[in-house]
Structure formats: C-alpha cells, structure tokens
Chains A and B, each alone.
Chain A
Amino acid sequence: MKIKIARYMGKEVTQKEDIEYEVSLSDATLLEVLNEIKTKQDATLSYSSGCRSSICGSCSMRVNGREILACAYKVKDGDFVEPMKNSPLIRDLVVDMDRAYEFNAKAKAWQSSIKKGVSLSEENQMLNEFQSDCILCGSCYSVCPVYAVNSEFLGPFALTRVWKYVSDKRENEPQSKIDAIQTNGVWDCTLCNECTLVCPQGISSKADIEKLRMRSVASGYSDPSFASSFGSFGGASFDGSPSF
C-alpha cells in the first residue's frame, strides 16, 4: 500500500515536498501507518499523537482534503496526508495550535458564576452532554471557511464551548457570555455546516451557533450585516428585531 505525505521541514528548509511511502500493513489506522514509517523507514517524519483512542485530540490532520483523526482513520491505498489548515505550519503534519486555542479565552468559554450545590436534573445535564464531548482536536477550526475572510473569528469549537456554558443551568451570568460573542462571533459564521461534517465526536458547532444566535436575538442583539444593510431605513426595535 502506498500513501503520500505532504512534507515540510520547517523554516530552516523552505521547500515543501510530497513524499510517497510504501507500507505492508493492512486494515491499519493512519496513526499505525505513520508510526511504522517513522520507526522503520524515515525517522524525520513529524506528527503529533497521544492516546491512540480518539480522545486526546492530538493527531488531527487531513486525508484527501478532509479532516480526520489519524488514530480513527483506516488507511486506503493512494491516500494523500496533509496538515490542518488555518494554523501556522511548523513542520510536516504539525501545526501551531496556540492561536486557535486562544479563542477559548477570547470567547470567555468558562463558567462565570461558581456556586456549590446547584441541583441539576438529568434533562438539564443532557442539554450540553454532546458539547462537553469536545476533544479540541481543531478539525472544525481547520475546515472553517470564515478564516479566509476574518482571521479574528472566534470559531466553531470556542463557540460550541460557549454554548456549553450558556446552556448550563449552573451558570448564573449567561448574558455576559452572549455579550462576548457578538463581535467576530456568532454573526460571522456562514452556517455552511462543514464543522459538523468533520467533527469526530459528532458535535454540530453550526447548530450551537444557531442556538447562540437565538439567545442573542432574545437578549436584544441582531445580525449586524442584516441591520446595516437596512440601517438607513431605521433603527432596531427594542427587542432587537429590525423595524421598517
């Protein structure tokens, strides 16, 4: 079986090169194949990995243009492996995720009110069970087309995290979270749904962003692009819906 890997040796060597490797493994995960190449054929191949069980989020990369976890993807002959997009490439299949992760803090993705002993029903807990399955692999961030036009977009995983806390009954100050995601936030999403399609945990950031939009509207905010295009015809009414 042959696979091709996009190699880039880092700032010291500027050119990129696609290198083909042949391995004899069958029914193997991409991570197993990469380990085989690294330990037996080419020790210079760089990639990140950790748990091997799709829970640490380290081995996210792209195969044939699609974001996957290397430990959860079964390799096929002719596959083309590349690093993730929207983050600076460091080397080979490794990108620098620092900036991506910083959006968690920029979006204030945490619980603001700490109160002990709040009773939470099974239904309350189920509300954001999926959102709290996120492993921060960054697949959604890599596939998101918004970064082509707005590099300050808070992005899918950070907004899903915000929804996790906004929807949590234990959070007493959800409004402050809603306030924090108006600029470069929920309204910048194109609702293209690519994030949902690549999420290894089955989370839909698009759906979470839609829910956050509804909350935003309910608390007086409106879609700024919508408001500005109608802006000259009058302001927004008291509940945030445009008035004509």
Chain B
Amino acid sequence: MRSDVLIIGAGGAGLVAAINAHESGAKVRVITKEYPTRSQTCMAQGGINAALGNASDDSVEAHVQNTLKSAHGIANEEAVRHLCESAPDAVEWLDSIGVCFSRTKDAKIAQRTLGGASAARACYAQDYTGLKILHTLYDRCNALGIEMLSERYLLNLVTHKPTSSDAYIGGATFLNIRSGEVESYEAAAVIVATGGYSRIYDKHSTNSTSSTGDGQAACLRAGARLSDMEFVQFHPTALKGSSILISESARGAGGYLLNSKNERFTNELAPRDEVARAINEEIQKGEGVFLDIRHLGEEFIDRELPQERKLAKLYENIDPVYEIIPIKSVAHYTMGGIEVDKNSQTNIEGLFAVGECANHRVHGANRLGGNSLLELVVFGKQAGANAANYAKAFDKTIEAKEQAKIDEEYLKRVKEFSNEIDFYEKRTFVGNIFYNNVGISRDVKGLKEALEAVYKIQKETPMMGPKDRSKIYNTNLVEFLEFANMIELCESVLVSAIERKESRGAHYRSDMLEQNDEKYKAHTITYEENGTLFTDFAE
C-alpha cells in the first residue's frame, strides 16, 4: 500500500497539500479519522485575511505589522511576510476553484474587520467561510481523482534510523475504525495535517471533539520536536453553557461586550488574548458577561451571521435579535505544534507538517483572527509541493509492517487494561483543571498542581482502558487512544508553561506579569528521548 505522499488529515491544510502534491506529479493518498469535509476547518466562521483593500484601504505591510504585533515578539518575520505576501494569491486561487465568497456591490470579494486588524481584511462567505472553503477543496480533490480514505485513526509514524545518517520517514500505521484491523501505509513522504489539541480543555473548548492532537503526539513519539505548546488561544466569545463559538465577526460588525450592570468594559476589537483576559477578569469579579448584537438588526444578523442566531437559539434559548447572549472565553486554537523549518519539514527527513498541528512561527504568542485559514492555504501549498519533490528524489528502502505488528500488540494490551478507573471521568477532570489552572491566567502553583495530576494519570493509564472490547467500529477504544494522546501533550504544554517564567500573549502568568525579552524571546521546544520529555528554548 505505497504512495509517494501520504497525507494524514483531510481538513483544509491536508486537502490543499494533497492538491498541490498531486499537481507536482506525486501519487497522493489522504487518510482521515473522519470523512473529508467533517474536519475542524468547517467550523471556521470569520474569514481569511488578505490585504485586497476591497472594503477599506489596506496593505500587505499593515497585515504584516498587525500579525507581528499580535504575536508579541515570537513570530518569525520572514515567515509572516511570506504568509501575508502570498495572501492575495491564496484568496484568488480559492475564488478560481469556486469558493462562494460574499461579494461587494461592485462585484469584488467582500471583506470585514476582525480583532487586531487595522483594516477590513477578512474575506468571508457569510459565517460559513471555513465550510465553503473546505467543501470546495474536497470537490477539487474529487476532480483530480485523489484517493481519500476515511475512518482510519493514526496510530504511529514509521521512521527509519540508519546509524550513519539522520532519521527518515517511511509511512504510518492506522486503526481501521470500521474493521478494527491495524493497517500500514508506506510512503516516501508524509504530511501531518491533523489539527490542534484544544480538546485537552474538554468541554471548555469551541473545537470539534476530534481536535485531540493525534498528529502532535505521534510526532513526539517518532522523535520530532514540538514548539510553543504553552500558547493556547482562548476565543473571547463562546456560548456560556455549551462553549459553542460565536464568531469574532459579530464584534467586528459592531457587537458590544457587556457585564451584568450593562456596562461595556473593554475594547471589543483588541486582539483575542486581551479581550479574553478582560472577560475573564469580569467573570472573576462575579459578573456575568454578555454579547449584545441587537442593534445590528434582524436583517443584518440573518444575512451575515445566520449560524450565530441558530446556535444561540438552540443552545441558550436566546434570540440574539432581541436578547443579549451569555458568553465566556474558552480554548479555541493552539498556536503551538509540530516544529517545522521554512520548507514545512520536521527534523525527520520526509516528514512534513502543516495547518494547526504545525508551528510555522507565524502566530507567535497569539494568533490573529483570519490568519489560520490563510495559513493552511499558503503553507499547505508549500508542504504539498515540497513533499512531492522530496518523494521524487527518494531512493531509500522503507518497511511499515514491523510497526503495524507492534501496534497490534499494543492494541491487544490496551483492550486488557483493568478498567478500574473510568477514563471519561479523567478526561472531564483534566479539562477542568486545565481550564482553571492552565487557562487564560496561570501561576506556577496551579501549573505544578496540574502537572502532578497529569503524571498521576499517566501512571494510572493501564488501570483505565476501553470498556468496549469489540472489534467493529469501537469508538470507546478510539476515544481512549485520543485521551492517551492528549495526556501525552498535556505534559508538553505544562512543562513549557512552567519554564516560560514571563507573560507573553496568550501565556499570561499572574505571578510573572512582565514580558522578559532577554530570556524568553524564544521558542519553547519539547522533545522525547527514551520516553522522557525534555524542554529547551531556541531562537
């Protein structure tokens, strides 16, 4: 089962990479644990940034400066410039393959203002931007006849380590969820595009239940490095009861944030880290926090924010046309991820990463709204082309069966775990402790307490395991494997957060309020050697 390029994940990043690898002449295979079109990308609402200047004066330079400012000193300027300079082309390409962007009266792509932006820069399709981009990419993959395999869960990456040279990739192993069998897929190049890890916050996250960091955890086990894992973006406005996202475009269009006394308390369009902190402070004071979009009017809300109205009604029994919406800030986007170089390649030869799972150093300590959809197009293109070129020149031997055997044995053992402790309860517990101790505001005491809890759970894992031991479509088993991945990543997040003894962007230490450029204007690197996790800072 060999291909030139194997892409793991069928969200926006994976599909853009697939299209570009295919167009570069590679035989491409995409594998996803869901179906293509069901990934997290479909949940992106606000838009995709490009300095087109269709709605107001704008420039690539302004886009660069806004992104760098929001990143608080730890974005790579070269990477940010590449991102912003490529943005107009990226949007033009999406438009050319049929994405239904909303339009202005003069037949241009409509743009709106998101937080931290000096201009109306986000191109959008109502509040369905991610959905329409993702589905159009899927249609494009169909047009090109790209093979897409669904419902296969990533177990491990296959690496080869000749003594004389560096490690290189050889494919990956998967659990076929439908059959319960372990499958191995060999490939000269592998692109990991598996999304973020916000679900470590469990119910305190806007994300799909699938954002469990499977790719990052597999990379860590395979010897790749993760970076900036402590930087988790909290979205200011999620529905209070269900953590369902209310798009930033609601504030971009003029929505207010109010406390229980009906007072505004912050600049609604500051970058997300600032707004989330302001909301959190109000909540700490015992205030309720609300989003008020009533003054935008029913016609505007139905035209520009149709999802928001539907979801507020469904989950909070609130009609935003007539009532204020109770909100809180929850985990939304993970800036940290798989460390890649400027070619999107990891420290393992032939292993690439792209999208939210990767860290291209463009978001730094806090991502700007509208830059994540952009990132997956710009770097997806790059990763796809580079992986295809790498595969063309590849002449080494690869063999994935061995890893499949190891994984089969592991799954057999997992199904015999003792089940004295319920992992669902632990998943909730970890989510709560992360929300409280590793959330919008952190201090060393709370972080260490969380790390102790995580160490304890790691030790107790053999006392958990799935209750369901059947073979066919065992979601209980898959959820346990996801939980194990999340627990692995929790450690990375925590040691990084403890080591970074300063406040910067989304990493806000109430016990270390200053930003310390002398020591920490650097990237936090975590990597595993012989089962032990190490931390380091690197330029």
A pairs with B: yes
Q: Take A57-B37, A90-B472, A114-B96 as given contacts and tell me if A136 and B209 are in contact as well, using a CB distance cutoff of 8 Å.
A: no
Quick check: B142 and A122 within 8 Å, CB to CB?
no
Residues in chain B near residue A56, CB distance under 8 A: 34, 37-39, 42-43, 208
Contact of B43 among A51, A104, A128, A134 (CB under 8 A): A51
Interface size on B (CB < 8 Å)?
Answer: 60
A148 at the A/B interface (Cβ < 8 Å)? Answer: no
Cα separation A49 to B108 with both chains bound (whole Å): 36
Quick check: B96 and A104 within 8 Å, CB to CB?
no
Residues in chain A near residue B118, CB distance under 8 A: none
Q: Take A43-B476, A53-B244, A56-B39 as given contacts and tell me if A110 and B139 are in contact as well, using a CB distance cutoff of 8 Å.
A: yes
Cα separation A36 to B196 with both chains bound (whole Å): 25
Residues in chain A near residue B424, CB distance under 8 A: 39-40, 43
Quick check: A53 and B245 within 8 Å, CB to CB?
yes
Residues in chain A near residue B178, CB distance under 8 A: 90, 96
B125 at the A/B interface (Cβ < 8 Å)? Answer: yes
B101 at the A/B interface (Cβ < 8 Å)? Answer: yes
Contact with B along A120-143 (1 / 0, CB 8 A): 111011001100111110000000
Contact with A along B239-253 (1 / 0, CB 8 A): 000101100000000
- Distance (Å) between the CB of B107 and the closest chain A CB? 4
Quick check: B98 and A12 within 8 Å, CB to CB?
no
Cα separation A175 to B244 with both chains bound (whole Å): 42
Least CB separation from A11: chain B residue: B472
A9 at the A/B interface (Cβ < 8 Å)? Answer: yes
B417 at the A/B interface (Cβ < 8 Å)? Answer: no
Quick check: B475 and A46 within 8 Å, CB to CB?
yes
- Distance (Å) between the CB of A205 and the closest chain B CB? 15
Within 8 A of A (CB), among B458-480: 466-468, 470-476
Q: Take A9-B472, A109-B139 as given contacts and tell me if A115 and B96 are in contact as well, using a CB distance cutoff of 8 Å.
A: yes
Quick check: A132 and B470 within 8 Å, CB to CB?
no
Q: Take A44-B476, A98-B150, A122-B105 as given contacts and tell me if A52 and B209 are in contact as well, using a CB distance cutoff of 8 Å.
A: yes
Least CB separation from B128: chain A residue: A133
Quick check: B34 and A58 within 8 Å, CB to CB?
yes
B17 at the A/B interface (Cβ < 8 Å)? Answer: no
B310 at the A/B interface (Cβ < 8 Å)? Answer: yes
A94 at the A/B interface (Cβ < 8 Å)? Answer: yes
Q: Take A55-B43, A136-B37 as given contacts and tell me if A94 and B314 are in contact as well, using a CB distance cutoff of 8 Å.
A: no
23 A-B interface contacts by CB (under 8 A):
A44-B468, A46-B474, A49-B209, A51-B208, A52-B209, A55-B43, A58-B35, A58-B38, A74-B314, A90-B473, A92-B473, A97-B150, A110-B143, A111-B136, A114-B96, A117-B92, A124-B103, A125-B101, A125-B102, A128-B100, A132-B128, A135-B42, A164-B98
The 4 closest A-B pairs by CB, nearest first: A10-B472, A110-B143, A111-B98, A43-B467
Given contacts A38-B475, A44-B470, A165-B139, 8 further A-B contacts (CB under 8 A): A54-B307, A56-B34, A90-B178, A90-B472, A111-B143, A117-B96, A122-B107, A125-B100
Chain A residues in the interface with B (C-beta under 8 A): 9-12, 27, 29, 38-40, 43-44, 46-58, 72, 74, 90-92, 94, 96-98, 101, 104-105, 108-112, 114-122, 124-125, 128-129, 132-136, 161, 164-165, 168, 170-171
